[in-house]
Amino acid sequence: MSTQNPRRVERQQTDKGYVPVYTTAVVEQPWDDYSAADHRTWATLFQRQREVLKGRACREFIENQERFGMRADAIPRFEDLNRVLNYTTGWEVVGVEGLLPELEFFKHLSNRRFPVTWWIRRPEQLDYLAEPDLFHDLFGHVPLLLNPVFANYMQAYGQGGVKAYGIGADALVNLTRLYWYTVEFGLIRQDGDLRIYGSGIVSSKGESIHCLESPAPNRIAFDMERIMRTRYRIDTFQKTYFVIDSFEQLMDATAPDFTPIYARLARQDSIPAGAVLDSDTVIQRGSGEGWAKDGDV
């Protein structure tokens, strides 16, 4: 682990717009260097999201935040979280400076290490940040790593990512879509209702409400190969959310060798983010209100 003072690595503005900047450094969390403003930002976001997520987040998410002892009064210390996490599922949080290259990210997951950006967004970025920061990573991702099934899914995803990296760019695109629509923006059925488990949703006030209550998006039952063909949005709320019945469903779906799946998908067209197929199990067909006509990735 690096002993140098960690940097705050963020995307850069160029004449072609914002571009991502990648870093591979693993760093100690500089907890003593967080400012009062940093702790206030954490507190504001934590309190706001915990209120919004009442009756919206899956029960495992809330229960596991409580098991960690996450509170609003101060940014958590990674070492405190790791004592609970390592004992429970064998995972650990590691500090990073910003976005990781794909292969580095996969290697961390495959070794049961979850990278958490050490720095937190600025006060003027409370409602939106284009890249992951400490709040997104820690508040959004880490709680479900205490769930043994989800923790195993994340490791399997990392192992699959290393393999996909060796297969080629198209395989990586397919696998990225799976991560996007499950780990980041997934919904789950619980007790007859839809609940949130995706970290990109639970760390966003607006999307926490939109994904469950807006008539605009589609809600469609989980279908892995369908998801791996589906483009998504990085600049707006999602047009479609996919719904699992359990975390075990994720593990069962990802158990087979993906190599023949990538071969099948290579012969099929990608699917627009807002499309509904005849083969879909539709929980709710969205109205499409407010959708941008282009910009799917």
pLDDT tens digits, one per residue of 235-287? 899 999 999 999 999 999 989 999 999 999 999 999 999 999 999 999 999 99
**203, 207, 208, 210: which is the annotated catalytic residue?**
203
Among the listed residues 10, 60, 108, 141, the single catalytic one is 141
Other Cβ atoms less than 10 A from the Cβ of 20: the count is 12
pLDDT for 68: 97
Q: Is the dihedral of CA 123, 104, 243, 238 positive or negative?
A: positive
Average pLDDT over the chain reads: 95
Distances (CA, A) of 103 to 26, 100, 283: 14, 8, 35
pLDDT in the model for residue 138: 97
The answer to whether the beta carbons of residues 177 and 230 sit under 8 Å apart is yes
CB atoms < 10 A from the CB of 179, how many? 18
3-class SS of residue 17: strand
Assigned CATH topology for domain 12-284: Phenylalanine Hydroxylase (1.10.800)
pLDDT at residue 16 greater than cutoff 70: no
User: Which of 60, 92, 136, 204 does the annotation list as catalytic?
Assistant: 136
Question: What is the DSSP-derived secondary structure letter of residue 10?
Answer: -
Nearest 5°: CA angle at 282, between 279 and 284? 155
Pick the catalytic residue from 184, 204, 208, 210. Answer: 184
With cut-offs at 50, 70 and 90, classify the pLDDT of residue 17.
Answer: low
What pTM did the predictor assign?
0.96
Does residue 136 have an active-site annotation? yes
* Confidence band, pLDDT 50/70/90 cuts, at residue 13: low
pLDDT per residue as tens digits for the range 109-137? 999 999 999 999 998 898 888 789 999 99
Question: Residue range 56-85: average pLDDT?
Answer: 97
Of the chain, the percentage scoring pLDDT greater than 70 comes to: 97
